[in-house]
Amino acid sequence: MSKEKVILTGDRPTGRLHIGHYVGSLRRRVELQQAADYKQMFVFIADAQALTDNIDNPEKVRQNVIEVALDYLACGLDPEKVTIFIQSQIPELCELSFYFMDLVSVSRLQRNPTVKTEIQMRGFEGSIPVGFFTYPISQAADITAFRATTVPVGEDQKPMLEQANEIVRRFNYIYGDTLVEPQILLPDNAACLRLPGTDGKAKMSKSLGNCIYLAETADEVQKKVMSMYTDPLHVHVQDPGHLEGNTVFTYLDAFCRPEHFERYLPDYPNLDELKAHYTRGGLGDMKVKRFLNNILQEELEPIRQRRKMFEKDIPAVYDMLRKGCENAREVAAQTLADVRRAMKIDYFSDAQLIAEQAARFAAEQ
């Protein structure tokens, strides 16, 4: 670890943030911020990316920008330590994507497993917007424009980081050493790599409507926990239960800490014992769900409280975003100046080029 680290991540403003974002990336960002072991940290709201599959619903994206910003602040991201900005306000990102498009083949994009799944999920098959299809390229631009070294994200982003690295290597090979290869920082807890939805589906995702949102009221959270997918074979309390694909236990893996047992379930010393009892039979879903609910409420309550506080001064949040955009734009502009120089499209800032051309044409006269 060195102070040379540049950390960057983003979220699509397609809805409020949920506990999948939290365990997959947001919690890590706050920890990184606390550790203060970085040169710069950027967190951005990917509105341009959100438009790639919401082109006819700009109002949804517009409304959710502030929701995501509030979720950031509620989780503890501090604009004094982290530059928070909105993607569309940095035109340099668009320019960089345009150059990167020449470095990636269509077949390479078609092989991206995350894009494949997302195309299916959205029913795009025959009519994929080009912007959506190419979003791994624009994501590479988002990362490299800020010379990010470290990208804390969920597992679904692995193919994006691989794509970004390929682009960087290809760019540097052709144009000389200019861009930085980013490294993915995955959650170290397996349950957090890709938190399933409350319906048991593979991924909690705004687009699937199976989320517990960070800003939800205590009652709403409780209702969702109590109706969560568990083990369809565990019908009676005495039946042996299964842990595999059991969402309640996956969430416990993601959120439970030893002290939670002392506070909420002192009959059990730890999660392993709870799991063993469930597997043996004789432990009802309701008891486990109530335990999970207590844990989630404890984690979410301070987030809800902080959000309420920031909601009281919305103009200040926009002001914070505007300043973040200005700072981010300066950094991206520097990278773009290097990129243009490397790509030999910096005509007017290259006095030597003009002098050489003048001399060449003079000699031909």
Binding region for ligand ATP (CB under 6 A): 9, 11-12, 14, 20-21, 24-25, 153-154, 156-157, 194-195, 203-207
Q: Report in angstroms how near the CB of residue 95 gets to ligand ATP at its nearest.
A: 23
Q: Report in angstroms how near the CB of residue 161 gets to ligand ATP at its nearest.
A: 10
**Complex with ligand ATP: residue 21 or 329, whichever CB lies closer:** 21
Q: Report in angstroms how near the CB of residue 22 gets to ligand ATP at its nearest.
A: 8
* Rounded-to-integer distance, Cα 351 and Cα 144, Å: 28
**Complex with ligand ATP: residue 204 or 300, whichever CB lies closer:** 204
Q: Report in angstroms how near the CB of residue 347 gets to ligand ATP at its nearest.
A: 38
Q: What's the per-residue H, E or C state across the chain?
A: CCCCCEEEEEECCCCCCEHHHHHHHHHHHHHHHHHCCCCEEEEEECHHHHHCCCCCCHHHHHHHHHHHHHHHHHHCCCCCCCEEEEHHHCHHHHHHHHHHHHHCCHHHHHCCHHHHHHHHHCCCHHHCCHHHHCHHHHHHHHHHHCCCCEEECCHHHHHHHHHHHHHHHHHHHHHCCCCCCCEEECCCCHHHHCCCCCCCCCCCCHHHCCCCECCCCHHHHHHHHHCCCCCCCCCCCCCCCCCCCCHHHHHHHHHCCHHHHHHHCCCCCCHHHHHHHHHHCCCCHHHHHHHHHHHHHHHHHHHHHHHHHHHCCHHHHHHHHHHHHHHHHHHHHHHHHHHHHHCCCCHHHCHHHHHHHHHHHHHHC
Q: Report in angstroms how near the CB of residue 14 gets to ligand ATP at its nearest.
A: 4
* Rounded-to-integer distance, Cα 93 and Cα 128, Å: 22
Q: Report in angstroms how near the CB of residue 44 gets to ligand ATP at its nearest.
A: 11
**Complex with ligand ATP: residue 224 or 277, whichever CB lies closer:** 224
Q: Report in angstroms how near the CB of residue 202 gets to ligand ATP at its nearest.
A: 9
Q: Report in angstroms how near the CB of residue 328 gets to ligand ATP at its nearest.
A: 18
- CB-side exposure of 275: number of CA atoms within 13 Å? 15
**Complex with ligand ATP: residue 109 or 184, whichever CB lies closer:** 184
* Rounded-to-integer distance, Cα 195 and Cα 93, Å: 30
Q: Which residue is nearest to ligand ATP (CB)?
A: 24
**Complex with ligand ATP: residue 154 or 241, whichever CB lies closer:** 154
**Complex with ligand ATP: residue 206 or 275, whichever CB lies closer:** 206
**Complex with ligand ATP: residue 178 or 207, whichever CB lies closer:** 207
Q: Report in angstroms how near the CB of residue 157 gets to ligand ATP at its nearest.
A: 4
**Complex with ligand ATP: residue 20 or 241, whichever CB lies closer:** 20
**Complex with ligand ATP: residue 5 or 12, whichever CB lies closer:** 12
Task: Find the length of the chain.
Answer: 365
